[in-house]
Amino acid sequence: MNRLLRVSLLLVALVATATQAKTPVARGTGGAAATISEQATQSAMTILDQGGNAVDAAVAAAATLGVTDPFSCGIGGGGFMVVYLAKEQRVITIDHRETAPATTTPTLFIEDGKEMDFDTVVASGLSVGVPGTVRGWDEALRRYGTMSFAQVLAPAISVADEGFTVDANFSHLVEQNERKFNRFPATAALYLRNRKAIPPGTPLRNPDLARTYRLLASGGVAAFYDGPLARAIVDTVNRPPTTAGISVRGGRMSLADLANYEARLRLPVHSTYRGYDLYGMPLPSSGGITVFEALNILEGYDLASMPRTQVEHVYLEASRLAFADRDAYLSDPEFVDAPVAGLLSKDYAAQRRSLIDAVRAASGPVAAGDPYPFQQDPSFPLRPASGALQPESTHTTHLTVSDKDGNVVAYTFTIEDWGGSGMVVPGYGFLLNNELTDFDFTPPHPNIPEAGKRPRSSMTPTIALKDGRPAFSLGSPGGSTIITTVLQTIVNHIDLGMPMDQAIDAPRLSQRNGAITDIEPGYSDSTDAKALVARGQRWSARAEEIGAANALVFNADGTVTAVSEGHRHGVGSAQVQDQRER
For the annotated catalytic residues, the residue numbers are: 396
Task: Answer yes or no: are the C-beta atoms of 332 and 351 closer than 8 Å.
Answer: no
Q: Which amino acid is at 445?
A: H
Q: Compute how many other C-beta atoms are within 10 angstroms of the C-beta atom of residue 467.
A: 8
Give the SS3 label for residue 503.
Answer: helix
DSSP state of 424: B
Give the SS3 label for residue 124.
Answer: coil
From the number of C-beta atoms within 10 Å of its C-beta (0-12, 13-18, 19+), residue 232 rates as middle
Dihedral-angle region of residue 406 (phi above 0 means left; psi in -120 to 50 means alpha; beta otherwise): left
Q: What is the 3-state secondary structure (H, E, C) of 152-195?
A: HHHHHHHHHHHCEECCHHHHHHHHHCHHHHCCCHHHHHHHEECC
Q: Which amino acid is at 77?
A: G
Q: CA angle 283-230-41, nearest 5°?
A: 60
Terminal-residue alpha carbon distance, the chain? 43
**How far apart, in whole angstroms, are the C-alpha atoms of residue 345 and residue 337?**
16
Residues 6+ apart with CB under 8 A from 125: 236, 237, 238, 239, 240, 248, 249, 250, 251, 253, 421, 423
Give the SS3 label for residue 398.
Answer: strand
**How far apart, in whole angstroms, are the C-alpha atoms of residue 411 and residue 81?**
4
Task: Answer yes or no: are the C-beta atoms of 64 and 37 closer than 8 Å.
Answer: yes
Beta strands in 367-480 (DSSP E): 397-402, 408-414, 462-466, 469-475
Using CA atoms, how far residue 380 sits from 289, 314, 331, 337, in Å, is 20, 30, 18, 11
Q: CA angle 565-464-508, nearest 5°?
A: 35
